[in-house]
């Protein structure tokens, strides 16, 4: 079993590099809040355990197994964030710190129950994709509701404004993270938009729409 520290290294390798970008010892050290020397030591250990591929002065990347473990931690982190946000009324910016701790709880049953309790959410309160139980994680393109095409269906994944008046208005309109929305119309005159949410159509201002982050459910479909 992995230590919390090892899990954190894997998670950060995943979050920073994510298959694509290059990650260096310094950069990773900065993310983790430790010194480059410590990262170096740990990389040797993780290489030994076959969780990262890495040669002296060379590229750092996760192995298949390392990625699997990292995704599991990310899954737990994002499920807990969603739980804290939607069940315990934590705000958007409070969830991260506590989820950093909760992500290390070891219990497959707990994670499954959490997922079920939250009704298998697709996005966390930051609008990031929550990997499913199989570790699958569809790549998505986030945008603001303002940018969405009329007639398209989308899912609300986050807010950009965390002020009380905005959040109150959001919930007043029946909007919430992981809710399905449809853009019914956009008025050329003043940019007001009509949005269908929970079978009701509401009208919102462009300014409001700009603070709602969504992913398009119709975009990029085959």
Partner DNA sequence: TTTTTTTGTTAGACAAATCTAACTTTTATT
Partner DNA sequence: AATAAAAGTTAGATTTGTCTAACAAAAAAA
- Which residue ranges make up the site for DNA (CB under 7 A)? 3-6, 24-27, 32-38, 40-45, 56-58
State the Cα–Cα distance between residues 138 and 132, nearest whole angstrom: 9
Residue 35's binding partner among DNA, a copy of itself, none (Cβ under 5 to 8 angstroms by kind) is: DNA
For residue 34, the tally of other CB atoms under 10 A from its CB is: 16
Does position 101 interact with a copy of itself (CB under 8 A)? The reply is yes
Instruction: Please identify, among the stretches 21-29, 104-112, 156-164, 208-216, the one whose residues bind a copy of itself according to the rule CB under 8 A.
Output: 104-112
Identity of the residue, 51 or 95, whose beta carbon is nearer to a copy of itself in the bound complex:
95
State the Cα–Cα distance between residues 10 and 8, nearest whole angstrom: 5
Write the DSSP symbol of residue 146: G
Q: Which residues pair with 203 in a beta bridge?
A: 194
Q: Which residues pair with 216 in a beta bridge?
A: 154
State the Cα–Cα distance between residues 213 and 129, nearest whole angstrom: 13
Provide the 3-class DSSP secondary structure of residue 74. Answer: helix
State which of residues 36, 40, 53, 94 lies at the interface with a copy of itself (CB under 8 A). 94
Instruction: Please identify, among the stretches 49-57, 109-117, 135-143, 175-183, the one whose residues bind a copy of itself according to the rule CB under 8 A.
Output: 109-117
Could you list the residues that contact a copy of itself (CB under 8 A)?
A: 84, 87-90, 94, 97-98, 101-102, 104-107, 109-110, 113-114, 117
């Amino acid at each position: 079993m992995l230590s919390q520290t090892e899990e954190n290294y894997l998670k950060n390798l995943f979050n920073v590099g994510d298959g694509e970008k290059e990650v260096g010892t310094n950069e990773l050290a900065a993310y983790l809040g430790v010194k480059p020397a410590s990262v170096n030591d740990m990389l040797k250990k993780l290489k030994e355990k076959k969780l990262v591929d890495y040669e002296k002065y060379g590229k750092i990347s996760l192995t298949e197994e390392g990625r699997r473990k990292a995704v599991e931690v990310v899954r737990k982190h994002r499920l807990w964030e969603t739980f804290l946000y939607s069940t315990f009324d934590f705000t958007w910016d409070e969830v991260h710190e506590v989820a950093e701790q909760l992500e290390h709880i070891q219990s497959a049953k707990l994670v499954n129950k959490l997922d079920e309790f939250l009704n298998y959410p697709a996005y966390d309160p930051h609008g990031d994709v929550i990997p499913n139980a199989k570790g699958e994680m569809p790549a998505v393109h986030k945008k603001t509701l303002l940018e969405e095409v009329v007639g398209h269906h989308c899912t609300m994944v986050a807010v950009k404004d965390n002020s009380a008046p905005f959040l109150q208005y959001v919930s007043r309109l029946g909007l919430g993270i992981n809710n399905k929305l449809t853009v019914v119309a956009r008025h050329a005159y003043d940019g007001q938009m009509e949005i269908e949410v929970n079978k009701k159509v509401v009208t919102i201002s462009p300014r409001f729409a700009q603070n709602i982050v969504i992913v398009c459910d119709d975009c990029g479909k085959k």
